[in-house]
A and B are shown apart, each in its own frame.
Chain A
Amino acid sequence: MDFSFTDEQQMLQDSIQRYLESSYTLEHRAGILAGNAGWSQSTWNELAELGLLALDIDEADGGIGAGPVGTMLASQTIGAGLLVEPFHSSAVVATRVVSSLARGTQREQLLGALASGEAIAVLAHDEDADWFAPRTSTAARAGDGWRLQGRKVCVSHAPMAHWLLVSARVGDGVGVFVVDRDAAGVALREYRTVDGMRAAEIDFDVMLAADTRLGDADARQALDEALDRGIAALCADALGVLDRILAATVQYTRDRVQFGTAIGRLQALQHRMADMYMQVEQARSMTYLATSACLQSDARARRDAVCGAKVVVGQAARKVGQEAVQLHGGMGMTDELDVSHCFKRLLAFELRMGCTDEHLAHYRGLVQSRAA
């Protein structure tokens, strides 16, 4: 057992933090949110220079090979920095999907473009069904290539992606296909998410070349692994936000004077913050557990830990977010302080990659199957 991080891992975290604190201020971020594109190419280039876009690419593929733990630390820092660029969508989830499925020159080309920041890819996976349920999108042989049909919802960062990695049923199995976002037969309905990011609902009816499929084996296991690692990284992102919102709340109550005293001196509020602190620590423990499970080969244990983490972190996100706004009083309701932006990112966390209830249902199933 070892809960410490290597010097290298810590240096990585420090360098991201320094970069975000100096360059990614709330004002800078507000400008990005207000723009048409909803992201900043120059920020993206700087993330590439810091090596962040190659972080979760294996060394054998020319990446940094930081693995789940390095990705966790980076995600935590990125969450705390409220970054809206597609780090999680492209450099974690899509990168993992490509890493586990693509072969040969396809692998080289895709990973090379993702690592350098030349291209952004996002996984188009969610459908209007349940998070774990079978998919309705399909791909069928058509001439030399494929015909892909279906609808995907809540595809984060699709509007700025070059490639959509689309999961679809192929016969009895599942395949993932690389689709140009601008291809004929791809229709995006773009929208803003509650935390200021961009996403889209996408309809596909598109003809694809034979070599657009990632690998040729059934992709189910690879997808599950990428999704689990993605959820673990998303938990780490939320953990970073939780740390920031708690620190901001404690500081605010130290500074805010009412009735001749700092409100942080009031025991009624101290107890509330003590509870927030405990929730954040429980969220941290579960994030570590999920990350650690991503290092193991047991796929079922990994899924169980990841689902458990999504529930505990999701519940902390709800409670701590609400309490932080409350303890800021009217200031918590404005867009001026970091608290409201953290609050919204925590709300979005609850809703992304399977809502709290979905993951709780998975865990409930475990309890019931053990009892039987």
Chain B
Amino acid sequence: MDLNFSADEIAFRDEVRAFVATHLPADIRDRVQRGDERHVADDLRRWQRILFEHGWGAAMWPAEFGGTGWDKTRQYLFDIECFAADAPIQLPFGLKMVAPVIMRYGSDAQKARFLPRILDGTDWWCQGYSEPGSGSDLASLKTRAERDGDHYVVNGQKAWNTLGQHADWIFCLVRTDAAAKPQRGISFLLIDMKTPGIRVQPTRLLDGRHEVNEIFFDDVRVPVENLVGEENAGWTYAKFLLGHERTNIAGIGASRRELARLKRMAGHARRHGAPLLDDSIFATRIAQVELELKALEVTNLRVIFAEARQQAPGPEASMLKIRGTEILQRISELQIEALGPRALQFDGDGEDVPRAVGQYMNLRKLSIYGGSNEIQRNIIAQMVLQL
């Protein structure tokens, strides 16, 4: 056993660090630091383009589709370095969700049409799974697609769609056989957001942000060629996709960055006339969460190691999701505590103030989406512990 990264891996990490340091535009980095999301669509597209031009557009794709072909360890290191340098995230919907499904189950025509445009950032994808009545119980979804000649006609409503207001395409789970068992009658459709009959309506979140939408489908005609794989086999693809969504789900990069920020904040904040970081109680809280993060990092590496042998991540990915989100939420709580009463201020200036408070509220979502933490615990109980 050896828990150290190899010399090659360290050289790789340094290469990534140097690249991001020189190529990440300062204005984008500053906005990420401030939590300023006003230009988020533009920033994300620009950064994707920069990575693409360097050949790093898709860290998680195999080389045959234009990806880097990196192993999981390199993907992990890449992720951490990007976060540490305050690079924007790469949206998962195209790169990590729909692309793997298209690679595995899509037609050659679909691969040729969609993958290059995801890679270079031309197309922005969003995810149309959840509905008002179907969240945790996704298989109960009701949005219908009926065959009419060489089209499907889609009617229904999707909810909680992240950043769909910027999207060019949406991948949807739709019901194509109402008579079959819930999981058997679902298909996986790719829908152009410009198709007539689609209406995107913002859902305002508790932090005031417009980050999610409701999407209404009213007789939306989708060419049959946009069906992925076979009709009524969509649930299989959805489950496959969920496995991919969980790579890097632990969010180590984000937690490390926010932990470093927390320490800076606690170094500046003063309590009882001394830096808050000198307060043994507050420092103990930071130490506690830092250790939890350390344990999770090693656990994550163990999963990566096992994955390299078994391909898809197993149910232990649920543990990474639960612990990773709880740790990041905890760090954001401590940031609020470090600010003290200044955290009351929600629209004022001051470097970390609005960011920390908005983020604290916004990050409550982490334990709700992507399969809620309760659902993940059910998975551990049933699949790992065999209860």
Contact = CB atoms under 8 A, between A and B. Distances in A.
Interface string B330-343: 00010011001111
Interface stretch (B39-47, B110-118, B369-377): B369-377
A35 interface: no
Contact of A329 (B140, B204, B281, B368): B368
B387 to A, nearest CB: 12
Nearest to B271: A130
Given A326-B364, A326-B367, A344-B361, A154 B205 contact: no
B367 A334 contact: no
Of the candidates B336, B345, B367, the one having the most CB atoms from chain A within 10 angstroms of its own CB is: B345
B159 interface: yes
B25 to A, nearest CB: 30
A148 interface: no
A126 interface: yes
B18 interface: no
Interface stretch (A50-58, A180-188, A192-200, A236-244): A192-200
Contacts, number: 111
A351 B368 contact: no
A257 B361 CA distance: 26
Contacts of B342: 153-154
Interface in A323-365: 325-326, 329-330, 332-336, 340, 343-344, 347-348, 351-352, 355-358, 361
A355 B208 contact: no
Interface stretch (B93-101, B129-137, B231-239, B298-306): B129-137
Contacts of B341: 126, 153-154, 351-352, 355
B59 interface: no
B348 A333 contact: no
A191 B345 contact: yes
A189 interface: yes
Contact of B340 (A133, A268, A325, A355): A355
Contact of B346 (A193, A329, A358): A193
Contact of A330 (B333, B343, B361, B368): B368
B348 A329 contact: no
A211 to B, nearest CB: 32
B217 interface: no
A259 interface: yes
Interface residues of A, number: 40
A194 B343 contact: yes
Interface in A165-214: 189, 191-194, 199
Given A259-B136, A330-B130, A355-B337, A199 B206 contact: no
A335 B208 contact: yes
Nearest to A343: B206
A259 B343 contact: no
Interface magnitude class on chain B: 35 or more
A194 B361 CA distance: 10
B364 A258 contact: no
Given A335-B206, A340-B206, A329 B344 contact: no
B347 interface: yes
B136 A333 contact: no
Most chain-A Cβ atoms within 10 A of its Cβ — which of B342, B364, B372?
B364
A9 interface: no
A292 interface: no
Interface in B52-79: none
Contact of B345 (A199, A260, A269): A199
A282 interface: no
Among A193, A258, A333, A351, max chain B CB count under 10 A is at A333
A330 B344 contact: no
11 contacts: A133-B272, A154-B341, A193-B345, A194-B343, A258-B140, A329-B368, A330-B135, A335-B208, A343-B206, A347-B361, A351-B336
Interface of A: 126, 130, 133, 153-154, 189, 191-194, 199, 257-260, 268-269, 318, 322, 325-326, 329-330, 332-336, 340, 343-344, 347-348, 351-352, 355-358, 361
Given A194-B346, A199-B345, A352-B341, 18 more contacts: A130-B272, A133-B272, A153-B342, A154-B342, A191-B346, A192-B348, A193-B346, A194-B345, A194-B357, A257-B133, A259-B140, A329-B372, A334-B203, A335-B206, A335-B208, A336-B204, A351-B336, A357-B271
Interface of B: 130, 133-137, 140, 159-160, 203-206, 208, 212, 271-272, 281-282, 333, 336-337, 340-348, 357, 360-361, 364-365, 367-369, 372-374, 377-378
Across the A-B interface, the 4 shortest Cβ-Cβ residue pairs:
A340-B206, A191-B348, A258-B137, A194-B346
